[in-house]
Structure 1
Amino acid sequence: MPEPAGKEKRKRVNVRRPDVMKVVTEEVEAHYRSSIVEKIKTHGGSLTLGNTTIRLAQQFGFCYGVERAIDLAYAARKVFPEQRIFLIGEIIHNPEVNRQLADMGIVSLPWKQLSADYDDLTEDDVVIVPAFGAPTHFMEKIASLGCYVVDTTCGDVMKVWRRVRTYAKEGMTSIIHGKAGHEETQATASRALGDDGTGHYVVVLTLDDTDFLCRYIREGGDREAFFARFENALSPGFDPDQHLHRVGVANQTTMLKSETEEIQRRVKKAVITRDGDDANFIVFDTICGATQERQDALFEMLKKPMDLMLVVGGYNSSNTSHLVEIAEQELPTFFIRNASCLRDLEEVIHYDLHKKSEVTSGYPAAILGDGPVTVGITAGASCPNNLIEDTIFKIFAMRGIDEAAVRAA
């Protein structure tokens, strides 16, 4: 769905020219492709050398939306070789990919608020909109400056925008399952205000948040406690006594599928308890297909015995963190940025979701012994295959098997 008209001065650019994309495809493959990962996939998703087995999830790594965003960013530099190119925040949540763009001279702009950096943009500059999209006031600012715009917003994200705009048009409040401070959720929340800015939203992160909200839907309650609970997660002028009458549920596309579905169920039940029917409740399936596929593939993978799970990706990646949450319920799991986090057989550097910080831990005893070991590896939609390859090599090296043997297998 196109952005609303109005101050439409920005120049949308189609950089997907055949001549450009041929070169871009070669560059992207050189940076991120892995022959080892592809070989393992063709052999049933596992590789055993000696008494060490690496098992890959059936679905992991770059999704179509991420691939498209990266391709468009690379193409932008080809089409505009001499011009300044800026990116709103990060193209995706992966340090390796964002470093590559920085090396190409693509400058990251602040994304949490419109800073003075945006005032310095000119009509000759190129602005890349990331895969998460950007809030409407960012887009309006860029439009007023007349910049060239390369929009890489994922189609699944725009599908959510269409839903929340529909809610606003019909006078319904959007209940958004997501992280209030996440780029995608901020972009979605801005669309939930509707084209005239009179719509409303509330962002819920957890089932506890949902239960609090549902109690208010059913019974009303303490307004001050409500505002304290959802501080920075509400639309301007939100009134819980008015704006929870007619509600629709949407979500940040990278959230845990089962949790979004449970939120939908609980909100619907609360509305029915209050009203006697669900006439004031609506929901559409806005869960990203790639996110769902990666979660489902991990659940299937966990049915097989493994000693250790490694989840590779950027620590600020929402869809990757949910893979960690799933795996750690079943076996020792480490969330690592890349292979450098596997320092040696004594310790691993990883991100602890509960402590919200990077920590150093020891491995499970099985990894340190001489017996058979099976290590599972998966990754979120923003992790390139070359980082998976590096991790595979490192695991085998720690078990005394060199890179040449892995390549020859």
Structure 2
Amino acid sequence: MKVLLAENAGYCFGVKRAVELAIKTAQDNDNKVYTLGPLIHNNSAVDMLKEKNVFSVDDINNVEGNNIIIRSHGVGKDIYDYCSEKKINLNDATCPFVKKIQKIAYEMYNKGYNIIIIGDKSHPEVQGINGWCDNKAIIGKNLEEFYLIDFNKIEKYAVVVQTTMPQDTFFAVKEYLISLGLTLEFYNTICFATKERQQAVLDLSKKVDAMLIVGGKHSSNTKKLAEIAKKNCDTFLIETAKDIDLEKIKTYDIIGVGAGASTPDFIINEVMDLINEL
């Protein structure tokens, strides 16, 4: 059996930065620190952070002490305003690429544009972006959802996209919106790390018999990698090496391994080691 690892697998710049900031904040305070929601969508990484005194809360009122970490997905403007009013110390681990989208949404909304977000309305990144335009964004995650939305040709629209969306989704929605004859400003805000990982998995999935995509099952970018790989070969989404169906995997000659942007290196290495031992 042969096993191949996709290029650019594992932590992206934004996730690596967020994890390092959270650990440093805990060390500097010599006490528990809290993130507003899981810092990243990976259970193994979250467990590792707990061991380093970094804990997740869903409600800002449950934060003990005077420090809070904004997770990599970002939050709405109201959280910043609340922390400023209550004099809570913000440690901002928002991914710089997400910050860019928030800035676009805020500025274009204040210029009179309606904000369109191509993304999953249940994802914290999208919810945070929406919070920079008074939670009035028009949101859809695929072409089918945009077909159901009524647009006003008198209005102006600024279009941004969740950092982890597939490129083909962005371009399909863009083509459809243009066909409606709307006044539009487009911003392709899919981050380069997402583009690189998706292309690497696409290329590798054409060369192997099966793909293992490693990452949190609630991770948007990980799930999209699995969707891409499935177009070309049998694909299995796993969180750790323990999730591998060894008897099934043994039936393949060449195995490809890809990993989401929030997957720690030690998890990827455990998967590679296990497959190499078969």
Which residue of structure 2 lines up, in the alignment, with residue 254 of structure 1? 164
Which residue of structure 2 lines up, in the alignment, with residue 318 of structure 1? 220
Cα drift, residue 307 of structure 1: 1.3
Which residue of structure 2 lines up, in the alignment, with residue 204 of structure 1? 140
Residue deviations 1:180-207 (CA, integer Å, cap 9, x gap):
11110010001123xxxxx831110121
For the Cα contact (< 8 Å) 1:168–1:200, is it kept in 2?
Answer: no
SS at 1:249 equivalent:
strand
Q: Which amino acid aligns with 2:94?
A: T
Asked whether 1:337 is paired with 2:216, we answer no
Matches within 5 A, 1:164-243: 164-193=105-134, 200-213=136-149, 216-217=150-151
Distance in 1 separating the partners of 2:148 and 2:181? 13
Distance in 2 separating the partners of 1:119 and 1:340? 36
Matches within 5 A, 1:8-19: none
Distance in 1 separating the partners of 2:128 and 2:255? 38
SS at 1:149 equivalent:
strand
Matches within 5 A, 1:38-187: 52-82=1-31, 84-110=32-58, 115=59, 118-119=60-61, 121=63, 124-187=65-128
Q: Which amino acid aligns with 2:114?
A: T
SS at 1:271 equivalent:
coil
C-alpha spacing 1:95/1:169, structure 2 compared with 1 (3 Å): same
Which residue of structure 1 lines up, in the alignment, with residue 200 of structure 2? 297
Distance in 1 separating the partners of 2:105 and 2:123? 17
Unaligned 5+ residue runs, structure 2? none
For the Cα contact (< 8 Å) 1:172–1:200, is it kept in 2?
Answer: no
For the Cα contact (< 8 Å) 2:57–2:63, is it kept in 1?
Answer: no
Q: Which amino acid aligns with 1:164?
A: A
TM-score (norm 2): 0.94
Matches within 5 A, 1:257-268: 257-268=167-178
SS at 1:387 equivalent:
helix
SS at 1:254 equivalent:
coil
Residue deviations 1:138-168 (CA, integer Å, cap 9, x gap):
2222222212221110110011112112221
Q: Which amino acid aligns with 1:390?
A: E
Distance in 2 separating the partners of 1:102 and 1:328? 34
Unaligned 5+ residue runs, structure 1? 1-51, 194-198, 218-240, 273-279, 346-362, 400-409
For the Cα contact (< 8 Å) 2:23–2:54, is it kept in 1?
Answer: no
Cα drift, residue 258 of structure 1: 1.4
Q: CA RMSD in A?
A: 1.9
Distance in 2 separating the partners of 1:388 and 1:262? 33
TM-score (norm 1): 0.65
For the Cα contact (< 8 Å) 1:157–1:253, is it kept in 2?
Answer: yes
For the Cα contact (< 8 Å) 2:161–2:189, is it kept in 1?
Answer: yes
Distance in 2 separating the partners of 1:160 and 1:384? 26
User: Which among 277, 281, 292 is matched to residue 184 of structure 2?
Assistant: 281
Higher RCO, 1 vs 2 (CA within 8 Å, ≥6 residues apart): 2
Q: Which amino acid aligns with 1:317?
A: S
Cα drift, residue 292 of structure 1: 0.6
Cα drift, residue 179 of structure 1: 1.0
Which residue of structure 2 lines up, in the alignment, with residue 8 of structure 1? none
For the Cα contact (< 8 Å) 2:161–2:187, is it kept in 1?
Answer: no
C-alpha spacing 1:173/1:302, structure 2 compared with 1 (3 Å): same
Which residue of structure 2 lines up, in the alignment, with residue 309 of structure 1? 211
C-alpha spacing 1:121/1:338, structure 2 compared with 1 (3 Å): closer
Higher Rg of the two aligned structures? 1
Q: Which amino acid aligns with 1:68?
A: R
Cα drift, residue 77 of structure 1: 1.3
Distance in 1 separating the partners of 2:52 and 2:111? 45
Distance in 2 separating the partners of 1:380 and 1:301? 15
For the Cα contact (< 8 Å) 2:206–2:232, is it kept in 1?
Answer: no
Q: Which amino acid aligns with 1:340?
A: K
Distance in 2 separating the partners of 1:131 and 1:119? 20
Question: Which stretch of the first structure deviates more once superposed, 327-336 or 132-141?
Answer: 132-141
For the Cα contact (< 8 Å) 1:249–1:282, is it kept in 2?
Answer: yes
Runs of 4 or more consecutive aligned structure 1 residues displaced over 6 Å after TM superposition: none
For the Cα contact (< 8 Å) 1:164–1:191, is it kept in 2?
Answer: yes
Residue deviations 1:295-352 (CA, integer Å, cap 9, x gap):
1112222332x1110000000110111100100111100000010002531xxxxxxx
